[in-house]
Structure 1
Amino acid sequence: MLPDKKLHASGEDYLEAVLVLQKKKGMVRSVDVARYMEVSKPSVCHAVATLKAGGFLTMDEDFFLRLTDIGREVAEQTYEKHCFFTRLLVEAGVEPKTAEQEACCMEHVISENSFRHLKQSMDKKK
C-alpha cells in the first residue's frame, strides 16, 4: 500500500536508481547514485534526506542506502513502467537513447490503473 504522500518524479527517479544499483552492485552509497544519475552529490544528499523523512529510504552507519518496503514498492513500480515504455518505444522504431529518455517522462505521468490496463492490453497482443 503506497503512502498518501505523492512523491515527485525526481523522488521516484532516485528510488529507481537505488533499486537498479542494488541489483547491479548489492550495496549502494550516495556517490554511486550521483554517478549513475549524473547529478551532484549535494543533490543526492538533499533527495536522500527527503526520502528518509518520507520513510522511503534508510542509511546505515556505513552510509549504505537501503530501500524500505514502501520505497522498494515505489521503485519497482517505477522501474517496471520505465522498462515497459522503453521496450514499447524501441519496438515501435524509436532510437534507444530517445526511448530511454522519453520512457523516464512517461513512467511518472501515467496512473497505476491506466498502466495496468495498457500492459494487459499489450500482453494480450503478443
Structure 2
Amino acid sequence: MVAAAAPGKSKKKLTSVMEDYLEAIFNLGMKKKVVRVKDIAKEMDVKMPTVTSMLKNLGSKGLVDYEKYEYVELTKEGRKIGKEMRHRHEVLFKFLSEILNVDYKNADKEACKMEHTLSSETLQAFADFMDFIQKCPRSGEEWLDFFQEFRNHGCRPEKCRERTGTIICKIQDQVDTMSKVKP
C-alpha cells in the first residue's frame, strides 16, 4: 500500500495535472462506491500505467491511499484539494457558460485550464459577480440579454439610449407607486 506521507509533505506545489487527478478521483467517488485505476484512466482519457504512476506520486505526497490492483481513496488532504478543484471548475464553468454564453464544451475546457491559476480572491469575485447579475434588480437576465446583443452586434449607442429611457420610465413608475402608498 502507498502510505500517506508525513504531515506537511503535500504542501509542495502540485501541478495542474495532479490537481486534475484529485478532482477526477473526487468526482468519481461522488458517483461510485469505489474508485479503481480503470475508472480514473477512462475519466482522464489516459492509459492505466499512467494512472498508476500518478497514484504513486500522489501517494508519496499523502494525497491518496492506493494499493496495486485495489481501489483508490483520497486522504483527508487529497479530498480537500479535489473538492476545491471541483468547486473552482463549477464556478468558472457557470461564469463562462451562463454569463458569457460560451458553448458548454469550450466552457468546460477553459474552466479546466483556469481553475488552476486563479487566486481564491479572484474566484470569489467571479462568484460574487454572477450572484449580483442573477439576483440584483439593477442587472438580472435582461442585462445579460443586452450584453449578448452587444457581443453579437457591437456598440450601438441608439440601443443604449433606448434602454436608458426604458429604465428611467420604470424608475418613475416605481416612484409614483411608492408615493401613492403612504406609511
The TM-score normalised by the length of structure 2 is 0.64
The residue that corresponds to 1:53 in the other structure is: 60
Q: Greater RCO between the two (CA within 8 Å, min separation 6)?
A: 1
Instruction: Give the letter for the 1:104 counterpart.
Output: C
What does residue range 75-94 of structure 1 map to in structure 2 within 5 Å? 75-91=82-98, 92-94=100-102
Of 109, 116, 120, which residue of structure 1 is paired with 2:124? 116
Q: Note the C-alpha offset of 1:112.
A: 2.1
The residue that corresponds to 2:70 in the other structure is: 63
The TM-score normalised by the length of structure 1 is 0.90
Instruction: Give the letter for the 2:106 counterpart.
Output: T
The residue that corresponds to 1:17 in the other structure is: 24
Instruction: Give the letter for the 2:30 counterpart.
Output: K
- CA-based RMSD: 1.7
The residue that corresponds to 2:11 in the other structure is: 4
Identity of aligned residues (%): 34
Higher CA-based Rg:
2
Unaligned runs of 5+ in 1: none
Q: Deviations over 1:71-105 (max 9, x none)?
A: 01100110001111111111121110110001000
Q: Deviations over 1:16-64 (max 9, x none)?
A: 0001111111210111000111111111111100100000000257611
Q: Does 1:38 align with 2:45?
A: yes
SS of match in other structure, 1:109: coil
- Displaced runs of 4 or more, over 4 A: none
